[in-house]
Amino acid sequence: MNNFSCELITAYIGLGSNLEAPVTQINSARLAINQIDGVKELAFSSLYHSLPMGPQDQPDYVNAVMAITTSLGPLALLGGLQAIENAQGRVRKGERWGARTLDLDILLYGNTELDLPDLKVPHSGLAERSFVLYPLYEIAPDLFIPNKAALADLVAKCPLDGLRRLD
């Protein structure tokens, strides 16, 4: 798979943090994503407070969703996002849903469906996670999730589960 696409693709990135000043982590990640060659920001959601998934003995999260256009292929974009995570202190312990300084996920990459060892698009948990659906709906209410449903229908079926927008 090429590192660069011939056309500009609209992609959506989920951002989350619950360690080391989460709001600052999210804002720094937004700036860093905008510095990736071949990436341009289209929209950025409000910040949202959410309860942790998995182990509950960790701080609550701050989440957002960013819409971008990119000329990068999906794996090259993933590499750029992982470099940002690492630069902001992300430690990968193999623990699922553990606390982290920064988590950047490719939620959607155009209408592409991928099932690779390192990347699944649309993101596998997208349709059930309020902390992804509500910020995504805020910036792209008319979106259709490939092989899923209209975003508005997914949001309507998804309880808030403690999610609230930060002011």
Looking at residue 116, which CATH number applies to its domain? 3.30.70.560
Marked catalytic residue, from 37, 57, 103, 153: 103
Q: How far apart are CA 13 and CA 72, in angstroms?
A: 14
pLDDT in tens, 125-150: 898 899 999 999 999 999 999 887 99
Marked catalytic residue, from 60, 96, 105, 165: 105
| Residue 90 among the catalytic residues | yes
Global pTM value: 0.92
Q: Into how many domains does the chain fold?
A: 1
- State the average pLDDT over residues 13-18: 96
Query: CB within 8 A of 110, min separation 6: which ones?
Result: 9, 10, 11
Q: How far apart are CA 21 and CA 62, in angstroms?
A: 10
Extract the tokens encoding 106. 């490719």
- State the average pLDDT over residues 35-46: 97
| pLDDT score at 155 | 96
| Residue 165 among the catalytic residues | no
**DSSP H helices in the chain:** 22-34, 74-87, 130-139, 151-156
Q: What is the mean pLDDT of the chain?
A: 90
- Phi/psi for 26 (5° steps) reads -65, -45
Marked catalytic residue, from 30, 57, 60, 90: 90
Please give the residue range of the domain that contains residue 9: 4-165
| Residue 129 among the catalytic residues | no
| pLDDT score at 94 | 59
- State the average pLDDT over residues 14-36: 96
Query: Of the ranges 13-22, 90-99, 153-162, which one carries the lowest mean pLDDT score?
Result: 90-99
pLDDT in tens, 47-78: 999 998 877 778 999 999 999 999 999 999 99
Q: How far apart are CA 146 and CA 52, in angstroms?
A: 26
| pLDDT score at 148 | 79
| pLDDT score at 1 | 47
For residue 159, name the pLDDT band (cuts at 50, 70, 90). very high
| Residue 103 among the catalytic residues | yes
